[in-house]
Amino acid sequence: MSDPHQHGSPATAADHPVPHDAAHFHDHSKLYLGVGAALLVLTAATVGLSYVHFGSEEMNILIGMLLATFKASLVALIFMHLKEEKMTIYQFMLATMVFVTGLFLLTLLAFKDHIVL
């Protein structure tokens, strides 16, 4: 607030008072930092565990993908506010999940399509 040459932000601060739930936002900042830290730790875990042999390659892939899915869920729920979103958005998500699952299954169908020579 000390620099009057800064593009007008001091004046606007008075025009637009801090909303009542400003303290609420402050609490979330800690959550965001916590999630960021958790994501970094989980990244380190993903890297570390990829060098541990869990019996089979499939098992390693499964563990890696479970960790990735968990990390992606953190990003989606907290950073993308999906934890508390409106019903319309959830409906979009549901439709997307249905279609993307169909897309994956379509590709896998190719394995049922034996080439006759």
Partner 1 sequence: MEIPYTVKPRPDTGLWNAKIGIWLFLASEVMLFGGLFSAYIFLRLGAEPGYWPKGLLNVPVGTINTAILIASSVSVVFAWAALKMRNFKRYRLCMMFTLLCGVVFLGVKLGYEWPAKYHHFGAFIKPEARAKYEEFLGNEHLAAKGLHPRVEISGHLENHDALHDKEIKEYHIRLDAVNADPTSPANDHPHFWPRPMSDKVAHVAKEDVQWASMFLPKHSTYFAVYYTITGLHGLHVLGGLVMFAYFLLPVSTRLYQKDPDHLANRIEVVGLFWHFVDLVWIFVFPLFYLL
What does the block give as tokens for 63?
A: 């563990």
Calpha distance 36→40 (Å, rounded):
6
Task: Tell me 111's DSSP state.
Answer: G
Alpha helices in the chain (DSSP H): 9-15, 22-50, 57-74, 87-109
Q: Does 16 bind partner 1 (CB under 8 A)?
A: yes
**Which residue has tokens 């869920």?**
73
Q: Does 4 bind partner 1 (CB under 8 A)?
A: no
Helix axes 57-74, 22-50, angle to 10 degrees: 170
Minimum CB separation from partner 1 for residue 116, in Å?
Answer: 17
Q: Which of residues 27-66 bind partner 1 (CB under 8 A)?
A: 28-29, 32-33, 35-36, 39-40, 43-44, 46-47, 50-51, 53, 57, 60-61, 64-65
What does the block give as tokens for 41?
A: 């730790």
Q: Does 86 bind partner 1 (CB under 8 A)?
A: yes
Instruction: Kindly list the residues in this chain that would bind partner 1 in the complex (CB under 8 A).
Output: 1, 6-9, 11-13, 15-19, 22, 25-26, 28-29, 32-33, 35-36, 39-40, 43-44, 46-47, 50-51, 53, 57, 60-61, 64-65, 67-68, 71-72, 75-76, 79-80, 86-89, 92-93, 95-96, 99-100, 103-104, 106-108, 110-111
